[in-house]
Structure 1
Amino acid sequence: MELYRSHVLVCGGTGCTSSGAQQLIEALNNEIERLHLSNEVKVVQTGCLGLCERGPNVVIYPEGAYYCHVKPEDARDIAEEHLLKGRIVQRLLYRDIAEEHLPLSLNEIDFYNRQRRIVLKNCGVIDPENIEEYIGADGYQALAKVLTGMTQQEVIDTIKKSGLRGRGGAGFPTGLKWQFTHDAIGDKKYVLCNADEGDPGAFMDRSVLEGDPHALLEAMTIAGYAVGADQGYIYVRAEYPLAVKRLNIAINQAREYGLLGSNIFGTGFKFDIDLRLGAGAFVCGEETALMTSIEGKRGEPRPRPPFPANKGVFGKPTLLNNVETYANVPQIILNGPEWFASIGTDKSKGTKVFALGGKINNTGLVEIPMGTTLREVIYDIGGGIPQGKAFKAAQTGGPSGGCIPAQFLDMPIEYDSLIQIGSMMGSGGMIVMDEDNCMVDIARFFLQFTVDESCGKCPPCRIGTKRMLEILDRIVEGKGKEGDIELLETLAKNIKASALCGLGQTAPNPVLSTLKYFRDEYEAHIRDKKCPAGVCQQLLEYVVMPELCRGCGLCARMCPVGAITGAKKEPYVIDPEKCTKCGTCMDVCKFDAVIKR
């Protein structure tokens, strides 16, 4: 066994990789070799550390020093100062946005110390391409415990008692779904994982696949034993090349170690896992469409019943959960259902992983106990809104969810409370919006996404969402008319009641939630022909403030349509009839004399 005095953990998730993490790892190894420290210091590529806003991220143990925004050219300072001389490189340490505080380690940072990591337990800690590091972190012990000492029903009962609910949609009880599949009659059963994460701004499942792939393999194997299946499929987006690569490595390693295949742990139990790549269709995140795609057919949903537990992929009883749901299973088996049930709230047990994005200082991946308030997530963990602007809303559940306004900042985040206010947990994307966001435009964005991604099989989704989008397009272009709001509501309710699958049934949610909480913005667009947030271009008017204009003429020279006139050293004027509202005049004015209203 090789022993090192220092371990340099470099985030190797997609976010940090895109910012140069691989070049940084190469530079660090070169410097360590140059200083003859190769026998003392090891550089480890990990999965996502979570604080994507500060990447590439580096943590050096045993000190636990956390460096952020690290570039390849910083490798020499880290190697010479920290690794050779034992001096912390102060300029690279994380700095708190508000206080310029210099914490040394992760545990001193609010972003991390306010989280509780179960699903993300190993992400950013182990090398995801090394099965021995996973085993060293108690990996595959839960599988051994199950296969050598528990019956199928005991495993299912453990999941039931834990209170674990599905982390990919409406939160159906996981143990109950396992029970249905176990009880189904069939000569062949399957275990599937939905890794087709398609919500805009969501990257929770991707980060688990990249940072801890063996946790998914172990959980699916446990599920296979519990329901009586011998084959599993992971349906993963082809747009996740790093996740696909690490899953393939993990599967091959597990087979080599006898943890997949025949006679696992000498018990006679047989189970194997293969990958199936999705082509990027959002509708394939719906369970029946996903199964149809695995069968090699066009990914379209089918009516239920029969439900997948009785007739799923290839017409056989099938269990389907998403990545995050499965990732909880090994920890529940090892620590007991009571331990898991003690976390969270009465009806929402455990933790939830969210991808924080949008108008937030600490963009990244967070895992919080169920029942944590939105305010804690936005301000304590997320670091608040950039430039001190006011929080306006948070979109959860992606295109199937809704917008949570500021009045619910102190509401606990859990399944039932989100549904009550017109949103949903969904897979865990959380897009934060501030005072500069137009909620009509936000609703339009999500509906446009759904229209583009609709499979077209059922008329309510294919036609109804298109009609809703046409109304929203009119409204943001200043062509809205009285009755449009009521028509949107009527269409939305009809689509929710009659669409074939969950995608269509939830497509109107962003429109309905914004109508409920931001109706005044719709009315301003329709009646006053104004966009209160100043976002919808066709409703804006660019004006030169005469008291601020120096008469330099730069705006007139840069205007692409000649809509600005004036004399040198005199205030210039914008002709609203000619103005195309491109905003160039406002961008180039050095004196902030051009405003939009």
Structure 2
Amino acid sequence: MSIDTLTPVLTANWGAERSWTLASYEEHGGYAGLRTALAMAPDDVITAVKDSGLRGRGGAGFPTGMKWGFIPQDNPKPKYLVVNADESEPGTCKDIPLMMASPHTLVEGVIISSYAIRAHQAFIYIRGEVLHVIRRVQAAVDEAYAAGHLGKNIHGTGYDLDIVVHAGAGAYICGEETALLEGLEGRRGQPRLRPPFPAVAGLYASPTVINNVESIASVPSIIANGADWFASMGTEKSKGFGIFSLSGHVTRPGQYEAPLGITLRELIDLAGGMRQGPDGQRHELKFWTPGGSSTPLLTAEHLDLPLDFEGMAEAGTMLGTRALQLFDETTCVVRAVLRWTEFYKHESCGKCTPCREGTWWLVQVLARLEKGVGSEEDLDLLLDQCDNILGRSFCALADGATSPISSSIKFFREEYLAHLTHGGCPFDPAASTVFATAGAQA
């Protein structure tokens, strides 16, 4: 697979010297999109984003321009833009590298997006644990103010905008947009009941647009190069490019920016293949997540599916955040799923019963199975629990907790049963063909 497959746009300047500074960013064409946007009518900016086909890069894949169009401009209340930079989905690692390497890409996107929806106040909500990222984004905002890109009468256009960089309190639940708004307003991060939706009554009960970092960071290049340029990449319904985060058992894990619709096989080739064992033999892919641990997992049978919203939906999963966690045959799927479920149990905000109680019980049954205690009926019990949780909680956290469980039982039921047969995990981490050998010995 040729390196030409990649489409470095958001990542194009990451290797530049001091890429996070204003001088370096402008040297690589930064803020050209802003000047173009300020010469356009706000509605024309929204139309350009709609025509580009940009869909939300935070997981849901909702058309970005359409979301902006939902803001009721006849509402006398102030309009707000909120950037969701609370990246905490297990396996997801694209927004934080982007903010570290090129924070001005995000800042420019925030200014253009705020201008389009006629907002004069924007917020960038960043995970509280990543203090180095918060400092870097704040420094970029300060540079933008000093250069006249922010503040009063930006570049003589009469448009005013202020950006606040807000540090979250470190809760996974605040990645959910309404829980994020609660946190911004100084309350405990818990999801809100909808309707009303944020576009009508969001931050401070005012019309609010909430977008992912990568969604907003994609806007400057769309405005600078044109909607047709962006729409020429990707697939028919999943336009443009995206950052694919490969982690786990590959030779070169990292960020790979490519058009939507690329396959995992192509990405693995770009990453140097699966890792090699001590004997020099290359390991085999066993299972993987297309969009973080809250998306149903897939297997090596799905290597050639297009990584776009439609292709993943047809396979019964979701593209999500393109957090591709790859696990080879030395990994126990039961143990991996248990670890993910423990995470969701810990991070449940406790507001609704299906999630608060359901994730606790999922861990209990999974832990029993992982230790080889219980019976085959526990698998049906797990699936029944998942069925009772799915679609019954305030937000998608509980739904995400069920995804790896139900999908792993679908593809690896025999592996769950092997734990019962062996009275524990049958895997030898040092083996190269673990389950095939363990299953035969069972």
Work out whether the TM-score is over 0.5.
yes
Deviation by residue 1:498-546 (Cα, 9 ceiling, x = unmatched)? 01101122220011111111122122223554645346xxxx9xxxxxx
Q: What CA deviation, in whole Å up to 9, does each residue of 1:364-404 have, x standing for no partner?
A: 11111111111111233343233201111112322311211
Instruction: Please name the residue that 1:44 is paired with.
Output: none
Q: Which residue of 1 aligns with 2:297?
A: 403
* Structure 1 contact 184–317 (Cα < 8 Å) conserved: no
The 8 Å contact of residues 438 and 534 in structure 1, kept in 2 or not, is answered as: no
Partner of 2:349: 455
The 8 Å contact of residues 3 and 270 in structure 2, kept in 1 or not, is answered as: no
User: What corresponds to 2:332 in structure 1?
Assistant: 438
In structure 1, the partner of 2:201 is 311
Contact 2:251-2:271 at 8 Å conserved across structures? no
Provide the rounded CA distance (Å) in 2 between the counterparts of 1:449 and 1:154: 43
Compared CA separation, residues 437 and 445, structure 1 to 2 (3 A): same
**Distance (Å, rounded) in 1 between the aligned partners of 2:98 and 2:424:** 44
Equivalent residues of 1:390, 1:435 under 8 A apart: yes
Question: Where does residue 367 of structure 1 map in the other structure?
Answer: 257
- Maintained 8 Å contact 1:112/1:381: no
Matched, 1:233 2:123: yes
- The answer to whether residue 31 in structure 2 is matched with residue 137 in structure 1 is no
> Based on CA coordinates, which of the two structures has the bigger radius of gyration?
1
Counterpart for residue 57 of structure 2: 167
Match of 1:472 among 359, 363, 366: 366
Contact conserved, 2:296 with 2:403, CA < 8 A, in 1?
Answer: yes
Conservation of the 8 A alpha-carbon contact between 2:70 and 2:199? yes
Q: Secondary structure at 2:201's aligned position in 1?
A: coil
Q: Deviations over 1:428-480 (max 9, x none)?
A: 32111000111111111111110010000000000011111111000011112
Report the secondary structure of 1:206's partner residue.
helix
Distance 2:57 2:202 in 1: 20
Identify the residue that residue 417 of structure 1 maps to in structure 2.
311
Q: Does 1:286 align with 2:176?
A: yes
- Answer yes or no: is the 8 Å Cα contact 2:103–2:137 preserved in 1: yes
State the AA in 2 paired with 1:207: P
Matches within 5 A, 1:139-538: 139-148=30-39, 150-181=40-71, 183=73, 185-387=75-277, 388-527=282-421, 529=423, 531-534=425-428
Percent identical: 41
For residues 184 and 384 of structure 1, the distance between their equivalents in structure 2, rounded to whole angstroms, comes to: 55
Tell me, what secondary structure is at the counterpart of 1:306? coil
SS of residue in 2 equivalent to 1:283: helix
Native 8 Å contact 1:385 1:391 kept in 2: no
User: Are the aligned partners of 2:371 and 2:424 in contact in 1 as well (CA < 8 Å)?
Assistant: no
SS at match of 2:19: coil
| Rounded Cα–Cα distance in structure 1 between residues aligned with 2:336 and 2:74 | 43
Q: Which deviates more, 133-142 or 228-237?
A: 133-142
Q: Does the aligned pair in 1 maintain the 2:22–2:140 contact within 8 Å?
A: yes
- Between the aligned partners of 2:295 and 2:272, the Cα distance in structure 1 is 20
My pick for the range that moved more, 203-212 or 424-433, is 424-433
Cα-to-partner distance string for 1:105-145 (whole Å, 9 max, x where unaligned): xxxxx785432112212212252342122112121111111
Aligned mates of 2:305, 2:6 — CA distance in 1: 18
Assess if the C-alpha contact under 8 Å between 2:92 and 2:291 holds in 1: no
Structure showing greater relative contact order (alpha-carbon pairs closer than 8 Å, 6 or more residues apart): 2
Task: Tell me the C-alpha RMSD between the 2 structures.
Answer: 1.8
Q: Any idea what SS the aligned residue of 1:365 has?
A: strand
Distance 1:492 1:291 in 2: 28
TM-fit CA distance, 1:354: 2.0
In structure 1, C-alpha distance between the alignment counterparts of 2:313 and 2:340, rounded to whole Å: 18
Give the deviation of 1:230 after TM superposition.
Answer: 0.3
Provide the secondary structure at the position in 2 that maps to 1:432. strand
For residues 156 and 300 of structure 2, the distance between their equivalents in structure 1, rounded to whole angstroms, comes to 56
Q: Which segment is superposed worse, 362-371 or 122-131? A: 122-131
**Matched AA of 1:160:** K
After the TM superposition, which of the residue ranges 402-411 and 123-132 deviates more from structure 2?
A: 123-132
Q: Is the 8 A contact 1:184 1:310 kept in 2?
A: no
CA distance in 1, matches of 2:87, 2:73: 29
Q: Deviations over 1:45-68 (max 9, x none)?
A: xxxxxxxxxxxxxxxxxxxxxxxx
Once residues 305 and 386 of structure 1 are traced to their aligned partners in structure 2, the CA distance between those partners, rounded to angstroms, is 51
Partners of 1:281 and 1:273 lie apart in 2 by 22
Please list, as runs of the form range in 1=range in 2, the aligned pairs for 1:559-574 lying within 5 A after superposition: none
The 3-state SS of whatever aligns with 2:293 is helix
- Partners of 2:261 and 2:306 within 8 A in 1: yes
Rate the CA distance shift 1:251–1:227 in 2: closer, same or farther, 3 A. same
Query: 2:218 is paired with a residue of what secondary structure?
Result: helix
Question: Tell me, what secondary structure is at the counterpart of 1:430?
Answer: strand
Question: What is the Cα deviation at residue 201 of structure 1?
Answer: 3.0
How many angstroms apart in 2 are the aligned matches of 1:128 and 1:175?
A: 29
1:153 aligned counterpart, secondary structure: helix
Judge conservation of contact 1:356–1:382 (CA < 8 Å) in 2: no
Between 1:210-219 and 1:517-526, the stretch displaced more is: 517-526
Q: Tell me, which stretches of 5 or more residues in structure 2 are unaligned?
A: 435-440
Q: Contact 2:372/2:425 (CA < 8 Å) preserved in 1?
A: no
Q: How many residues align?
A: 428
Shift of 1:246: 1.3
CA 1:489–1:369: 2 relative to 1, 3 Å:
same
Contact 1:131 1:253 in 2 (8 A): yes
Render the CA deviation track for 1:235-277: whole Å, top value 9, x for unaligned: 0012222211211111111101110011011010011101110
What amino acid sits opposite 2:8 in the alignment? R
Once residues 403 and 73 of structure 2 are traced to their aligned partners in structure 1, the CA distance between those partners, rounded to angstroms, is 35
Question: How do 1:41-60 and structure 2 match up within 5 A?
Answer: none
Question: Matched residue of 1:338: which SS?
Answer: helix
How far, CA to CA, are the matches of 2:213 and 2:19 in structure 1?
A: 15
